[in-house]
Amino acid sequence: MSKKPLHFNSKAIHGGQEPDAAYGAVMPPIYQTSTYAQSTPGGHKGYEYSRSANPTRTALEKSLASIENGDYGLAFASGLSAIDAVIKLLSPGDEVISTNDLYGGSYRLFKKVFEKYGITFHFVGMTDLGKIEEKINEKTRLLWVETPTNPMMNVIDIKGASDLAKRYNLLLAVDNTFATPYLQRPLDLGADIVMHSATKYLGGHSDVVVGALVVREKELAEKLYFIQNASGAVCGPMDSFLVLRGIKTLHVRMQRHCENGEAIARYLREHPGIEKVYWPGFEDHPNHEIAKRQMSHFGGMISFIPKGSSFKDAVKIVEKLQVFTLAESLGGVESLAGHPASMTHASIPKEEREKSGVVDALIRLSVGIEDVRDLIADLEQALS
């Protein structure tokens, strides 16, 4: 492989990859093994035990580092276990600031698991950097940013957050699940840690649950590798292989997700039965200018509110969809629809979620890569 820096689409396929040393396999074999023979105690070929490292996972971790323009990648059993590892960098008494329309599972991990170990979490409208700065005090250690947010599609200024993090000596972590490195590369914008639910666009085929972290700094990477091995929430070789295979088509899938997403966002916006559509590509989206600056397109995630709809009406609409599948998750080749109030965000108290716009009638779409005419026809019949 040439040592010349590759463009993104080539990195998705070749980044960090070498033909397998044993037989030149182009795809890394699925090293389905827990342990490795040693000639003498400690005499091994770089692998001792698969919780610590596994060659298929290493291939994925190198690919992740490459596509995010980082130096170190870490693969986990799920997106949440990747977040869990980041929070374990902290100590009792430390404080974290995050966004008030965070993915429900991240919110639950922060509030219901880590708060009882003495870590405090603040949730603010991070689209306004001033709100972040107001909450920073001497105990603050980490800014946890998700952008675009799930499901309100709010856009947070990564470069602005990174300037704040540097000024106050904080770590900045960005959940890049929605955008993927095809659209946005947080490390280039000054983040210290980028995180993924690789279950979504990176895997891309709704067939695996995996999480990822990528960093540039060696000392930070070593702390995270220690936690990864010590806590042990690693992904298996088969799952590593599936995500690696997914990443090889990330750029072509994302291009179509973006095209279909835009067509559907514009269709919904024109629809007389729709009150509001949330998609960062609209010129009147509150942080559209920032989205344009930090993303190369606007992605395939859209939320909308049907006019005069209640919880029940929204449920009826998602039940009527036929090409869109009513399901949790996002980022696969197939289009999915969700009802955040009763599904992904049910773990957030109603009052709390409504403050950030996650009302009972909100519907979220993960626009897939089917023929967009079929997707629009499906929405048309469900909304009629």
Ligand X SMILES: Cc1ncc(COP(=O)(O)O)c(C=O)c1O
Q: How far is CA 253 from CA 7, 292, 370, in A?
A: 17, 20, 10
Q: Is 79 in the site for ligand X (CB under 6 A)?
A: yes
How deeply is 373 buried, as exposed, middle or buried, from its count of CB atoms within 10 A (0-12, 13-18, 19+)?
exposed
Cα 191–Cα 196–Cα 81 angle in degrees, nearest 5 = 110
Amino acid type, 39:
S
Q: Closest Cα to residue 368, out of 340, 339, 332?
A: 332
Q: Are 174 and 158 in contact (CB under 8 A)?
A: yes
Residue of 63, 177, 184, 356 interacting with ligand X (CB under 6 A)? 177
Residue of 15, 55, 70, 105 interacting with ligand X (CB under 6 A)? 105
Residue of 17, 106, 140, 206 interacting with ligand X (CB under 6 A)? 106
The span from the CA of 350 to the CA of 72, in Å, is 39
Among 47-55, 173-181, 268-276, 314-322, which window interacts with ligand X (CB under 6 A)?
173-181
Q: Is 154 in the site for ligand X (CB under 6 A)?
A: no
Q: Is 114 in the site for ligand X (CB under 6 A)?
A: no
Residue of 61, 157, 175, 378 interacting with ligand X (CB under 6 A)? 175
The question of whether 103 is a catalytic residue gets the answer yes
Q: Give SS3 for 304.
A: strand
Residue of 150, 206, 303, 366 interacting with ligand X (CB under 6 A)? 150
The span from the CA of 75 to the CA of 52, in Å, is 11
**Which residue in 103, 107, 225, 278 is the catalytic one?**
103
Q: Are 286 and 154 in contact (CB under 8 A)?
A: yes
Token look-up 């329309």 returns 101
Return the number of the residue (63 or 106) whose C-beta is nearest ligand X: 106
Return the number of the residue (136 or 233) whose C-beta is nearest ligand X: 233
Which helix (H) or strand (E) segment holds residue 277: the answer is strand 274-278
The question of whether 350 is a catalytic residue gets the answer no
Among 50-58, 76-84, 129-137, 179-187, which window interacts with ligand X (CB under 6 A)?
76-84
Return the number of the residue (274 or 353) whose C-beta is nearest ligand X: 353
Q: Is 84 in the site for ligand X (CB under 6 A)?
A: no
Residue of 146, 192, 262, 360 interacting with ligand X (CB under 6 A)? 146
The span from the CA of 99 to the CA of 172, in Å, is 13
Number of residues binding to ligand X, judged by CB under 6 A: 15
Interface of this chain with ligand X, residues 195 to 254, rule: CB under 6 A: 197, 199, 209, 211
Q: How far is CA 319 from CA 258, 316, 352, 382, in A?
A: 25, 5, 26, 8
The span from the CA of 81 to the CA of 76, in Å, is 6
Q: Is 58 in the site for ligand X (CB under 6 A)?
A: no
Among 1-9, 77-85, 251-259, 359-367, which window interacts with ligand X (CB under 6 A)?
77-85
Return the number of the residue (120 or 347) whose C-beta is nearest ligand X: 347
Return the number of the residue (103 or 110) whose C-beta is nearest ligand X: 103
**Positions marked catalytic:** 51, 103, 175, 200
- Interface with ligand X (CB under 6 A): 78-80, 103, 105-106, 146, 150, 175, 177-178, 197, 199, 209, 211
